[in-house]
Copies of this chain bind each other. A is one copy, B any other.
Amino acid sequence: MASPRRIGAPDAKNRAVLLDAAEQLMLDEGYAAVTSRRVAAKAGLKPQLVHYYFRTMDDLFLAMLARQSEAGLDRQAKALASDRPLRALWELVTDPGGNVMTMEFVALANHRKTIRAEIARVAEQFRAGQIDAITQVGERYGLPPDVLVVLMTGISQVIVHERALGVSTGHEPTLALVEEHLRRLEGPAEPTEPTEPAVAAVAAVAEPGAGS
């Protein structure tokens, strides 16, 4: 597995530049656009540098995943610390920006065995954090927290996903149903501290998706 070839320092400036470029490409054009040549072009560097800092393309993808998931888990932890964790979770999972990246990684996992295990591990981390935060409130709903989380994930995903595709039948009443339940559980949308993305996220589902 180990290669004799040398590899760039983890904190080198160009390494980060390449990661940024790769991330942007993945967001804009999907994982298939993340090739050594295109990443380098976007970064204003030579293609061979990609292989210097990341020996293989899989290594690059893993590095992207690591950076993204770390940031994502942070954001999630902060959001779920709210006194309305259920609504916070809903806003999180209906955010089109964050989901584009996730979708790409999941699609990528279909074709890269190396990535699959790591994606699964990260996904379980996200889920564990969510269940943890919802645990208290879940009782009030009459559903176990893990079920609640799976339901919200499934419902939001199908809507966000189909929306991106151009399918919309049944979305509106379903969103209304979720909103009704959220309201019953945690009251209307206004949080204690004006965490402004509140309405934006839900509304965004009904709008053409934007980047993160």
A166-188: which have CB < 8 Å to B? 166-167, 169-171, 173-174, 177
A117 touches B (CB below 8 Å)? yes
Residues in B with CB closer than 8 Å to A109 are 165
The answer on a CB contact under 8 Å between A131 and B170 is yes
A117 and B165 alpha carbons, distance in the complex (Å):
8
The answer on a CB contact under 8 Å between B128 and A169 is yes
A153 touches B (CB below 8 Å)? yes
When the two chains form the complex, which single residue of B127, B144, B147, B154 contacts A167, counting CB atoms closer than 8 Å? Answer: B127
The answer on a CB contact under 8 Å between B123 and A165 is yes
Residues in B with CB closer than 8 Å to A32 are 32, 111
Chain A residues bordering chain B, tally (CB within 8 A): 46
Residues in B with CB closer than 8 Å to A117 are 166
- Tell me if A's interface is mostly helix, strand, loop or mixed: helix
The answer on a CB contact under 8 Å between B146 and A150 is no
Contact with B along A108-150 (1 / 0, CB 8 A): 0111000011011001100110010000000000011011011
Residues of A within 8 A of B (CB): 29-30, 32-33, 103-104, 106-107, 109-111, 116-117, 119-120, 123-124, 127-128, 131, 143-144, 146-147, 149-151, 153-159, 161-162, 164-167, 169-171, 173-174, 177
Q: Can you list 24 residue pairs at the A/B interface with Cβ under 8 Å?
A: A29-B111, A33-B111, A103-B110, A106-B161, A107-B107, A123-B162, A124-B167, A124-B169, A127-B167, A127-B169, A127-B170, A131-B169, A146-B169, A149-B170, A150-B155, A150-B169, A150-B171, A151-B155, A151-B174, A154-B154, A154-B157, A157-B157, A157-B158, A158-B158
